[in-house]
Structure 1
Amino acid sequence: MSNRYITSHFPLISILLFSLTFALYTQTLILTQLVDLGVYEGMREFFSENGIKLTLLFLLMLFFFMIFSALKLIADTTVELSMLFFSKDIEGVELNKIRAGSSIFMALSIISLALTQDIIYLTAAFAAACFIYFVYFVYKVSDSLSILGLIGLIFFHIIFWSTFLIAVIYALVKLYNSFMASLPI
Structure 2
Amino acid sequence: MSNRYITSHFPLISILLFSLAFAIFVQGFILGELVDLGIYSGMREFISESGIKLTLLFLLLLFFFMVFSALKLIADTTIELSMLFFSKDEEGNELNKVRMGTWIYLAASVLAILLAQYLLVIIALFVIASLSYFVFLVYKVSSTFSLAGLVGFIVFQVVFWSAFLLAIVLALVKLYNSFMASLPI
Normalized against structure 2, the TM-score is what? 0.99
Residue segments in structure 1 that go unaligned for 5+ positions in a row: none
Residue correspondences, number = 185
Deviations 1:54-106 (A, max 9, x none): 00000000000000000000000000001000100001111111111111101
Q: What is the CA distance between 1:115 and its match in structure 2?
A: 1.3
* TM superposition outliers: structure 1 runs of 4+ over 3 Å: none
Q: What is the CA distance between 1:144 and its match in structure 2?
A: 0.4
Question: For residues 93-108 of structure 1, what are the structure 2 equivalents within 5 Å?
Answer: 93-108=93-108
Question: For residues 151-162 of structure 1, what are the structure 2 equivalents within 5 Å?
Answer: 151-162=151-162
Q: What is the CA distance between 1:130 and its match in structure 2?
A: 0.2
Q: What is the CA distance between 1:184 and its match in structure 2?
A: 1.8
Hey, what's the Cα distance between the residues in 1 that align with 2:120 and 2:103?
22
State the AA in 1 paired with 2:109.
Answer: S
Say whether residues 1:54 and 2:58 are aligned partners: no
Hey, what's the Cα distance between the residues in 2 that align with 1:184 and 1:47?
34
Question: For residues 114-129 of structure 1, what are the structure 2 equivalents within 5 Å?
Answer: 114-129=114-129
Give the root-mean-square deviation of aligned CA atoms.
0.6
State the AA in 1 paired with 2:36.
Answer: D
Q: In the alignment, what sits opposite 1:87? A: 87
Q: In the alignment, what sits opposite 1:171? A: 171
Partner SS state of residue 90, structure 1: coil
Deviations 1:118-174 (A, max 9, x none): 111000000011000000000000000011111110110000000000000000111
Question: For residues 6-155 of structure 1, what are the structure 2 equivalents within 5 Å?
Answer: 6-155=6-155
Hey, what's the Cα distance between the residues in 2 that align with 1:12 and 1:19?
10
Percent identity over the alignment is: 68
Hey, what's the Cα distance between the residues in 1 that align with 2:93 and 2:100?
13
Q: What is the CA distance between 1:34 and its match in structure 2?
A: 0.4
Say whether residues 1:184 and 2:164 are aligned partners: no
